[in-house]
Every structure is written in structure tokens, then in C-alpha cells.
Amino acid sequence: MKIAYISTYPPRECGLATFNNNLMRAIGSNFPERQSLAQTGFVVALNDSENIHEYEYPEEVKYVIRQNHQKDYIRAANYINTSNADVCIMEHEFGIYGGESGIYILPLINRLEKPLISILHTILKDPSYVQRIIIREIAEQSSKVIVMSKRAVEFLTSIYEIPADKIQIIEHGVPDVEAPAENPVKNLSSFKNHRVMLTFGLLSRNKGLETVVKALPKIVEKHPDVMYVVLGNTHPGVIKSSGEEYRDHLKSLAAQLGVSRNLAFINKFVSEEELVNYLTACEIYVTPYLNEAQITSGTLSYAVGAGAAVVSTPYWHATELLADKRGRLFDFKNSEALADTLIELLDQDRILNELKENAYQYGLHLRWPVIGAEFIKVAQESLVRFDFSDKILRNSIVDPEILPKFSLTHVLRLTDDTGIVQHAKYGIPNLKEGYCLDDNARALIMALMAYQRNGSSEAFELLPIYLSYIHYMQTDDGNFRNFLSFDRRYLDEVGSEDSFGRTIWALGHLIGCAASNSYREFSLEIFHKSVPHFAALKHLRGMANTIIGISLYLQVYPTDEGMVKILADLTQPLIDAYNNTQSDDWQWFEEKMTYDNAILPLALLHSCEITGNEEAKKIAMATMAFLDQLTLSNGYLSPVGNDGWYYRGGTFPTFDQQAIETMAMVLMHFQAYQIFRVPQYIEKMFLSYKWFLGENTLRAPLYDHETKGCCDGLLPGGINRNQGAESTLAYLISHLTVLKAFELEYEYNKYGQKLQTC
């Protein structure tokens, strides 16, 4: 069995790099016939530099990912998939991967075709929205999630809702070496003739070392031969931001307290063998972290494994590892309590030696070869259970169980007696931005769909609010304003053609499925008043939205010949635009693809359904196929990003992806199914919808299960966490369309098999 490791790696100075190197050696030690680490597997190493050659890696490093280069992650997945690795082990810490909270790792693990074992080094009690998404997705894609403490299991099951059977505890490994008979460290000036208290690790403010320095005066008064030794470099990130400010602060504090002679710094990154020498040469090891939020501490594990007497603050890992008299605890930032504990231990050799012996005995089962054997067992079990076809089905099958429960909670939060507020800061309405016609038109469509589906009283009560807003924004000549301030002041004289068209769409929808005659009559009045402006439309998307509205109107009033002619007249510019622009490699209406792209073929599908225009149908199918090829070819939806548009012959913009693109794709494929009854369109509809749930470029859900809203977009580094009306309504309309598709289940296979294509 060979293993691919994803992690930082030496010579990069990083705790995870050391851990991964030790794990690789530990697993290799169980295969003594293999002469080198490279024979046991290989490493995909994470660089914190733009320079791929920043570090002189050993031979086992076969691939390097630059932290902030998203394409490197995709290429790394391809490298692993085509390698001879049987299993993949990933070290996870939010900070070592690119994007918001390291979100770039998700596309990599989603593409893996090997069983994945993920080792979580940090599990936050209060994760951000994105951090929670990342951990849940890692668990979803992993055969097994490894943690190092019971508290970690508790957090994963209760906070992240990860099934307990996905999780396994394997404690942090420690060096498999004994203290030398002649320890050279004891001859160092800071150790010789001193009773040494030691702390080691990369220095940063959160280590709390000032607590030990403040305790020194009281300790030194009783034991003047005490020396507090701080072993380790300053963290590279701290060096970049503030240099040696923290180390200098500790020196200055010691000078103020008169204990400078009792404080020594050894500023270097030591080897494992050297570290054991330091740990066995000290009297007491101290970890004075400032708060409880430390789920795993490698330094603490090493100290216990070396049989050191440990005194620590009660952070999560320490409370478990130092239980049963394997160490002593003192309160956070309490230098007095620390001083009293250390004096007690220095006074009583019997208690001190008992702590050391208890720690040493416990540490025997933490030694790296033992830990390596546990990982081998997990890897073998994962390999036996892994079935890649299951992963493919999980990612592509049409399954109603994956749909969140429909909820109007966020819509109700955004809606007042005027209309729906257009923007939000996170999940909170941003009243400063007021209202717009686009969103209230979409909201009317959504509320109608919700009421149609289940007779929702909440949805029914929203209808007059959104319809009243549309009426309020109609001008005397039948056109529409768009923007309204929170205090109900008009902010424009005439709205955009997009907002006009979306309003006609909403009115057509209401005319077609009005909850009562009064609503239909009111809608007809507004609709007919706006008709004189149809001929003045100049932009394709304004026409397309209007075409959809007219088509819905004509489903109820098919004998309105004047409106049929208007529909044909509005359809022709789309046909002409396509014919004037298209080529063998560019099946589109314009020289560029911009926003809300699927609306254009969707409009032609609606038009040809009413008029029977074969040319419109042919163009709808051609442009739909072209759009699908561009956006669905990766097995998930990656719509044209708003960051630059997609020009003929240009580069496809991956970001900023918007929810209205997805809604249009869902509606387009559903409308295509209704016309052609080809099950492939239902499959593509579901595939598009799942963009909201995490089947996307970053593998990050945009639907927020907590607020019941939808995030505003997919950015290069993560998610736009604002949850405005446009994105939330786009999600809900898509969701309701998917539910409507389930009503046609008798026409296609519903029961967990991949849909047949024609």
C-alpha cells in the first residue's frame, strides 16, 4: 500500500510539516523492507510562497501547491489520481490552504478518486459560516476523519453535525527515543547548575509566556537556581508582521521584574532528537496558553511522551492528556497559581517524579511506530470500503433528500409593508439600500410558486405587498421606476429594461396562476398599461424577460392576436442577433456572454412553445447546448463569472459567480424538459440547482441553513456572505422549480439511478 500525503513539509518550519514527516516515517517504520520514505508514498507539499522552488524538498515530495494558486489544487488532484497511491492522507489546518479559511482545498478533495483520510488539527468551537462548511465538506469527502481528543469528537458531532462513525481518535504521536545516558543539553550554560522550566514551540502572543515570566519573582525567591528556558524560533508569520517584538517584550518584562538572569531564550528550530534531549534535561515543562481553545497541542504531546513533569493551563487538549496525575493544571493568566504549583513541585521530588513516571508510561502508547500502525489499519479499512462509483453517484444522482426544507424565514426578514429590501449585510437587512423593482418582481414570482405548491398562508400574505410595490413604481405612462429609498422616495424616473422585463414576467406569471380574480384583474390592468413600451425595448435581456411574461399571459389568453404579434416581434431580434453573431465555435447571441445568460434561450423556449416558431426552437437548443458545454462540462455548474465577462476568443472568467445565473439555468432546463420531455434536461436542472448546495467550483454551499437565506456570490477566495434579496429569491425559485419537477416523477426514474439520456 502506498499513500499520498497532502500537507506542509520540511524544510518548511511548520508544526504540520513536522507532524506529517513524522507520520510518514512512522507508517514507513512498519514496513522495514522499504529502504526510503519515497518507497512508502509521496507528498503533495503546500508552499506559503509564490515561488514553487522556495524550499529544497527531499525526494518524497513529488508535487508542490502554491497556497494561493487555485489551479495548483486541481492539478494536484489529477496528479494523485493518476499516481500509484492507494490512499490519501490530508493534514488539515485552516491557515495552510488558500482562499477564505482555506476553502481552496475543497475542489481538490472533491476530485480525488482515492479514499481520503483527513486529520483535523484545529476544530473550532465557534466556527465561521465558511469554516463550518469546510469541515463538513471534508468529512463528507473523507472515508475517515481523524482527531486527537475526545473534545474534538464532541465538537464535530454537536457543532458540525458529523456522524460519529465517520470519526476516529488517534492521539498525537511522540518520538520513539529514550533519553541519552550522557545528555549534552545539561552542559549548556542555561541548564548547567540550574533547575530548568522549559517551554518550546514557535513563539507568538497566544502562547502566554508572560504568565511564566510574571511568576518567576516568587519562584526565584524560594528557588534562586531556577531558569526558565524558551526554546524555539518566532513564528514566521509573526516575524513578517511584527518581527521579534514579542520576544523583546518578554525580555523587557523580565528586566522590570528583576529576573532577567532567570530567563533564557534558545532561538532555533531543533531536530526531534535534540528536542528529546531538552525535554529530558528540564525539571518541569510549562504550557501557559491563554485560553481553552486548543484542541490539539503537539508540544504538549511531546512533553508527555518524553516523560516530563508538565504544568499547564486547562486548555482542551491539556485537560485530557494530563488527567490521571500525568500533569498539573493552573488557571489561565494566573501567575500566582502557577508560581505556587511550581514551588510545590520543586520542593517535593516525590510528587515531581510521580508526574514524570505517569507521563512516561502513558507516552509509550503514543510513540510514532504505534501511531503509524493505527493509521495503517485505518488506511486498509478505508481502501476495502472505498467505491469510487458511490462517490460519483453521491455527487450526481437526483435525490430529493438533499433538498433543504423550504423556508420563507429570510424572505420574511427582508420584507416589510413596502416590499422586499434589496440588500443585506450577512443575514441582516441593509435598510440603507432601500428597495428595487427587480427584486419585488422576483419575490412576487416566488410567493406565487410557493402558494401554488402548498397553499402557504405566509406566501399568500406576501402577494399584495409585492404587487402593491409594482403598482406604486408604475409611472403614469405605463413604464416603471426601479429604485425606492427606505423612506419611500423615488430614486429614479425610469428603471432599466431588465427591471421592466422582469416585472412583465412577474405579471404574466400572476395572470396565469392568480390566487383570486382580484389579483388577476389588478395584474391585467398594470400589464396592459405597460404594453406601449414593449416596442421600445432595445436590449436583448429586457426583451427576453418580457417575452417570458407575454408567453405566460398567452397561455391564459391564447386568442389575443395582437399580443401574439407582439411576441413574434420581440422574438425576432433574438433570432437576428444569433444569426448575425454565431459561428461554428460560437453559438451565441452576442460577441460576449455577460450576466443572466440562460434567460436568452429560456425566452426562445417560451416563445416557440406559444408560436411554434421552428427557428426559435432550433436556436434555443443550439445556444442551450453551447451554454451547457461551457458551464456544466466539469460535472458541476460553473456559470460565467461577472469578473470580466466571457468574450469570443477570450478567457472564461471563473468568478464572481452569481445566483441569478444558476436560477436561469434551472428554469431553462426545466422549460426544455417540459417542451421536449428529454430526461437529460431534468438531470441538468438538478445539477445546476446543486450549485447552491456546494456542487460548484469551490465546493462551498451558498445556501445558509441557519438564516435560510442564500449568499450573494462565489468569489475567488470564498463566499460573499451577504444574503440579499436577489440571491435568496434566486435560490427559492430554483428550489420550488426542483420541487415542481418531482411532480413529474412518473416520467423519469426517481429511485436513485442515474437518469437515462436521449
What one-character-per-residue DSSP string does 442-510 give? HHHHHHHHHHHHH--HHHHHHHHHHHHHHHHHB-TTS-B--EE-TTS-B--SS--HHHHHHHHHHHHHH
3-state secondary structure 331-391: CCCCHHHHHHHHHHHHHCHHHHHHHHHHHHHHHHHHEHHHHHHHHHHHHHHHHHHCCHHHH
CA distance 383 to 345: 49
3-state secondary structure of 414: helix
3-state secondary structure of 179: coil
Cell, residue 384: 476495502
CA distance 111 to 697: 11
pTM of the model: 0.73
3-state secondary structure 528-555: HHHHHHHHHCCCHHHHHHHHHHHHHHHH
**Taking a C-beta distance cutoff of 8 angstroms, is the pair 704, 710 a contact?**
yes
Q: Cis (ω within 30 of 0) for the bond into 628?
A: no
Angstrom distances, CA of residue 416 to CA of 386, 461, 514, 525, 631: 51, 12, 22, 25, 37
pLDDT on residue 747: 55
The full DSSP string for 562-615 is HHHHHHHHHHHHHHHHHHHH-BTTB-SSSSEE-SSTTHHHHHHHHHHHHH--HH
CA distance 623 to 616: 11
pLDDT on residue 746: 47
- How many residues in the chain? 758
Side chain identity, residue 447: A
CA distance 505 to 542: 10
CA distance 457 to 459: 5
Regions of the chain with pLDDT less than 70:
388-401, 515, 743-758
**Taking a C-beta distance cutoff of 8 angstroms, is the pair 37, 89 a contact?**
no
**Taking a C-beta distance cutoff of 8 angstroms, is the pair 201, 207 a contact?**
yes
Angstrom distances, CA of residue 188 to CA of 43, 278, 279, 592: 37, 10, 14, 71
CA distance 673 to 682: 6
3-state secondary structure 185-252: HHHCCCCCCCEEEEEECCECHHHCHHHHHHHHHHHHHHCCCEEEEEECCECHHHHHHHCCHHHHHHHH
**Taking a C-beta distance cutoff of 8 angstroms, is the pair 411, 446 a contact?**
yes
User: Which of 576, 561, 756 lies closest to 678, judged by CA?
Assistant: 756
Distance from chain centroid for Cα 484: 35
The pLDDT tens digits for 389-408 are 556 545 543 466 678 999 99
Q: Which residues contact 549 (CB under 8 A, 6 or more apart)?
A: 501, 503, 504, 505, 506, 507, 508, 509, 527
CA distance 542 to 170: 60
Q: Cis (ω within 30 of 0) for the bond into 11?
A: yes
**Taking a C-beta distance cutoff of 8 angstroms, is the pair 736, 449 a contact?**
yes
| Phi and psi angles of residue 488, each rounded to the nearest 5 degrees, phi first | 65, 35
Count H helices and E strands in the chain, helices first: 27, 22
Q: Which residues contact 73 (CB under 8 A, 6 or more apart)?
A: 65, 98, 104, 105, 107, 108
pLDDT on residue 147: 97
Cell, residue 535: 416596442
CA distance 213 to 391: 54
User: Which of 258, 180, 186, 272 lies closest to 229, judged by CA?
Assistant: 186
Number of Cβ within 10 Å of residue 49's Cβ equals 13
Number of Cβ within 10 Å of residue 116's Cβ equals 24
| Element housing 658 (H / E) | strand 657-658
CA-based torsion, 389, 394, 397, 399: positive or negative: positive
Burial of 182 by CB count in 10 Å (0-12 exposed, 13-18 middle, 19+ buried)? exposed
User: Which of 296, 273, 63 lies closest to 178, judged by CA?
Assistant: 273
